[in-house]
Amino acid sequence: MADLVLGIGSSHAPQLRMKAEQWPLLLHKDTNDPRYNYQEVLSRAKPDMEAEITPEVMERRYAANHVALGKLRDKLAEAAPDALVIVGDDQHEQFWEDNMPMFSVYRGAEVTVKHRRHATTQPKSEATAWLTAGERAEEGDYPAAPDLAEQLIETLVDRGFDIAASNKLREEVGVGHAFEFVYQYIMPKADIPIVPVSVNTYFPPNQPTARRSYQFGGALREAIEAWDVGKRVAIMASGGLSHFIIDEEIDRTALDAMKNKDVETLVTLPKDRLMVLGTTEILNWITVAGAMEAEEMMVLDYVPCYRTPAGTGCAMAFATWE
């Protein structure tokens, strides 16, 4: 039997890799985002928003994010797992509308990190400057854990989940952003084989509900513990919390429910609040909360990283389950 020795959760938004002074580069993107009406969002913003986006506040929040990331790095190194299951989301990296699975497990022998090509091929302008800002993980091929992936697929199918499986990444893309991020900030030595598990958080009509995500996490735990090799496994949620319109209330409600093991509140989070743009990445956290239901959750930090007067930005969270 394998041991599930650690759970961690981390946001993976662009503001983590961009210095605080670069955050205003995202203003043009946010004010022109076709997915929402910026002026309408601006009209609903809280009255003290100008105080949230001063250079000093941005710098303090950037620093807090990286303190928390350092703690997660240390926790993972201390746990020394033989494999890391990463629950993330795909944003038109491997999957498109012609075939969009709800849940997918990658079972290849290695993963390839490549820099997202749009960041270097689009003409430089005010609108695209943010794409090339900040650091990125080193490109290369890194070990995956195909034996564990096969175990997950087999057990999840037995538990009634219709799992998609893939043993090949799109050559021009490599592993997606939710997984590449881990090599940059959580596992810079790239010394732990990973299993990427993709949850369709973004694209209707087949996004999982919060309840189904929690159930999926429980089944993932069963699958990991049924791996008859006597190895140590960690699991990670990559993504979230609310963005690109920050909703501190839904974030804190979700975090409190996970910490307090209030499963009913967690699985009945208001769909109209949860299914808003990138806020749906909270489903990745709910999946890991389901897997780590028996362990205690510690929230290392919650950092609402506002970047415009309308309250757009990314709310960062960092946590462990032990």
Domains and CATH numbers, the chain: 3-321 (3.40.830.10)
Rounded distance, CA 228 to CA 68, Å? 34
Closest CA to 299 of 321, 285, 317, 319: 319
- Peptide bond before 179: cis, by omega within 30 degrees of 0? no
Phi, psi of 76 (to 5 degrees): -65, -40
Closest CA to 142 of 197, 198, 195, 89: 195
Closest CA to 123 of 115, 134, 114, 131: 131
Q: Other C-beta atoms within 10 Å of 311: how many?
A: 22
The three-class DSSP label of residue 21 is helix
Q: What is the pLDDT of residue 276?
A: 83
pLDDT tens across the length of the chain (322 residues): 889 999 999 999 889 988 999 888 888 888 888 888 889 888 898 888 999 999 999 999 999 999 999 999 999 999 999 999 999 998 888 888 888 899 999 999 999 988 765 444 444 544 444 444 446 667 889 999 999 999 999 999 999 999 999 998 888 888 888 899 899 899 988 899 999 999 998 888 989 999 999 999 999 999 999 988 889 999 999 998 998 899 999 999 999 999 999 999 999 999 988 888 889 999 999 999 999 999 999 999 999 999 999 999 999 999 999 9
Rounded distance, CA 246 to CA 251, Å? 9
Secondary structure string (H, E, C) spanning 25-93 = HHHHHHHCCCCCCHHHHHHHCCCCHHHHCCHHHHHHHHHHHHHHHHHHHHHHHHHCCCEEEEEECCCCC
